[in-house]
Structure 1
Amino acid sequence: MDIRQHTELLEKQILSPYAALSSNSKGRQYPQEKCIIRTEFQRDRDRIIHCKSFRRLKHKTQVFIAPEGDHYRTRLTHTLEVAQIARTVSRALRLNEDLTEAIALGHDLGHTPFGHIGEKVLNGITDFGFKHNVHSLRVVEVLENGKGLNLTWETRDGILNHTKSSRPSTLEGQVVNLSDRIAYINHDIDDAIRAKLISTDDLPKDCIDILGTTHAQRINSMVTDVIVNSTGQANICMSNKIDIATEKLRKFMFEEVYLNEWARNEEKKAAYVIEELYSYFLKYADKLPSEYYCNIDFYGVQQVVCDYIAGMSDRYALNLFYETFMPHAWNIY
């Protein structure tokens, strides 16, 4: 018996009846010989964490566009926080931690530069629309390495369905779905307080009384509640009381932070950058990098330009905008 088979046996002995077993995976896009050391879901996790799209997350906006401070969240730190919360919940519920981690690490690979404003712009200017969860799936199925990462069905399902309006087929995917919400609400509050857009005293008192006065207390309240309410169930959920308080906090963040006048002014600038780059490369497709240009005949110019822009980090988009549209002095010696 090799190491992978031993791990698969342990999964059958230890994990919940509701867990996704790696030995029962529905398989990959393309058949591939199994690893003698790692399970199928462990391989998914490793492929995601080593891919270029994952590394680019460190320079993609979470909420604050190109923040100067060292401690503001980026799309990468958000992803790691989601993964940690999700792993905690999965371990407590005896679900498959490897699958949970793979989904969590891959769930935002398709996010645009400048956060949700980038998604909104691309959704409006492309004929086919744009949703970051759908594009995350495109990244792992098509774009990464020019042929995708060949992940398992379970991981791809979790990535596609990680948004609030969707429902993943596995409990591990449902854990990531809820952990994403827990993570961004709490760390966005933390970042907004650091940016002095709000203070702790501004937070709705009835929510704080239920969830806690500190960042750690609120996360602990939400995570504990999910575990308590999901134990022994074929469903991942919060109690009604915690869910209502959490949703009220989310609405508060939209009103006071996400739709803040300062934030919206910066978003207008970011939107302009994306719109101008998109128009430019539609007109001058020959200026695209070769690895994108070669796909035009197959996917069409709109899709290829969208793929290119969606994959950019904030700083790459800003630098490219400057190089493309700003005049440069001649070097005369």
Structure 2
Amino acid sequence: MTVRERTEEIERMTLSPYASLSENSRGREKPEEECPVRTCYQRDRDRVIHCKAFRRLKQKTQVFLSPEGDHYRTRLTHTLEVSQIARTIARALRLNEDLTEAIALAHDLGHTPFGHAGERALNRLCPGGFKHYEQSVRVVTRLEKGGKGLNLTWEVRNGIVCHTKGAWAATREGQIVRYADHIAYMNHDIEDAVEAGVLRNEDLPKEITRVLGDTKSRRITTMICSMIDHGAETIGMDSEVAGAYEALHDFMYSTVYVDRVAKREEKKVDKLIEELYNYFREHPTHMPQDYLYIVWNEGADRAVTDYISGMSDEYATRTFEELFVPQKWHVL
């Protein structure tokens, strides 16, 4: 018996009847020989961690564009917090923690530079629109490894595309990640907003803090415990906590996410993304070689969208400056 087979046996013996067992995966688009050490979901997690798109998350905006200070979240730190929350819930419910972690780590790989401001700009420019969760699937199936993709399992890809809205994931592990994503970003965005002077802790409605708690830690703990108590058969929270969770969501979208201080730079994002899009649309050969293959096979709009959405905030800004901002004359 290999190490992987022993792990699969342990899953059968210890996980909930509602868990997604590794040995029952629907598999990959391209069949592969099984690893003797890792289960299919462990391999997926490792492939995500080692891919280029994952590394670029460290320089992609979460909420505040290019904040000055070391303690604001980036898309990478958000991803790690989602993973931690999701794994805690999955472990407590005896669901497949490896599958949960793989989905959580990959869920935002296709996110644009400059957060949702960049996503809105590309959605306006790209024929057919742009959704970061769909782009995340494209990253792992088409763009990584020089166009070969990561060849992840069906369950991970399903969890990625269903992590934010619309249809729920087919697995309970994927459903947990959807909750964990919301739990993470609402609470860490509160902390970042307080740090930025956009919000005060006392501004949070008392009817919300009474149920969820008056600190980030207490709120996260309350929601995690509610999901655990709710059980694995149907992923969710009890009605009181769920109501407060929805009220907190509405509060954040009516205050922090529309605050003029937090959003005053976003009009510049529209201009930057549009100028880059139009430039590379007209000069596709100025993109790296990998994207020229996409131009030939799927058209310039698709290639330019892939290229820009993969940029970090810093790289997008630097590229814009090189193309459109006059440079100082250097005397040799």
Q: TM-score range by the shorter chain?
A: over 0.9
* Partner deviation per Cα, 1:233-287 (whole Å, 9 max, x = no partner): 1x21011211111111111111211111123321111121111100111111111
Q: Trace 1:260-275 onto structure 2 (pairs within 5 A).
A: 260-275=259-274
* Aligned partners of 2:119 and 2:131 also within 8 Å: yes
Cα distance in structure 2, aligned partners of 1:264 and 1:183? 20
| Deviation string, structure 1 residues 187-209 (Cα, Å, up to 9, x no partner) | 00010001110101100111001
The match for 2:103 is 103
TM norm structure 2:
0.98
Deviation at 1:294?
2.5
Q: Counterpart of 1:130?
A: 130
| CA distance in structure 2 between the partners assigned to 1:266 and 1:330 by the alignment | 29
2:22 paired with 1:16: no
Give the distance between the partners of 1:62 and 1:295, measured in 2 at CA.
28
Alignment of 1:37-116 (within 5 A): 37-116=37-116
Whichever residue aligns with residue 119 of structure 1, its letter is E
Residue matched to 1:251: 250
Which amino acid letter does the alignment assign opposite residue 253 of structure 1? M
Deviation of the 1:304 alpha carbon: 0.2
Alpha-carbon displacement from aligned partner over 1:99-145 (angstroms, at most 9, x marks no partner): 00000000000000000111111111111110000000000000001
**1:300 and 2:299 aligned:** yes
State the alpha-carbon separation in 2 of the partners of residues 12 and 178 from structure 1.
26
Letter in 2 for 1:125: L
Counterpart secondary structure, 2:265: helix
Q: Any idea what SS the aligned residue of 1:67 has?
A: coil
1:193-272 matches, within 5 Å, as 193-231=194-232, 233=233, 235-272=234-271
- Residue by residue over 1:202-226, the C-alpha shift from the partner in whole angstroms, topping out at 9 and shown as x without a partner, is 0011100111111100000000001
| 1:26 to partner: Cα distance | 0.4
Structure 2 Cα separation of the partners of residues 198 and 30 of structure 1 = 49
CA–CA separation in structure 1 for the residues paired with 2:135 and 2:28: 18
Report the Cα offset of residue 290 of structure 1: 1.4
Tell whether the 8 Å contact from 2:294 to 2:302 is kept in structure 1 after alignment. Answer: no
Amino acid aligned to 1:175: I
In percent, how many aligned pairs have the same letter? 55
Q: Shift in Å at residue 165 of structure 1?
A: 2.9
2:198/2:261 contact within 8 Å kept: no
Structure 2 unaligned regions, length at least 5: none
Q: Which amino acid aligns with 1:158?
A: G
2: CA distance, partners of 1:285 / 1:4:
45
Query: Quick one: which amino acid aligns to residue 204 of structure 1?
Result: P
**CA displacement at 1:185 relative to structure 2:** 0.5
Q: What's 2:187 paired with? A: 186
2:127 and 2:207 map into 1 onto residues whose CA distance is 44
- Superposition deviation, residue 330 in structure 1: 2.6
The amino acid that maps onto 1:35 is C
How many Å apart are 1:230 and its aligned residue? 2.2
Deviation of the 1:166 alpha carbon: 2.9
Separation in structure 1 between the aligned mates of residue 275 and residue 242 of structure 2, nearest angstrom:
41
- Which residue number in structure 2 is paired with residue 172 of structure 1? 173
Question: What is the one-letter code of the residue matched to 2:245?
Answer: T
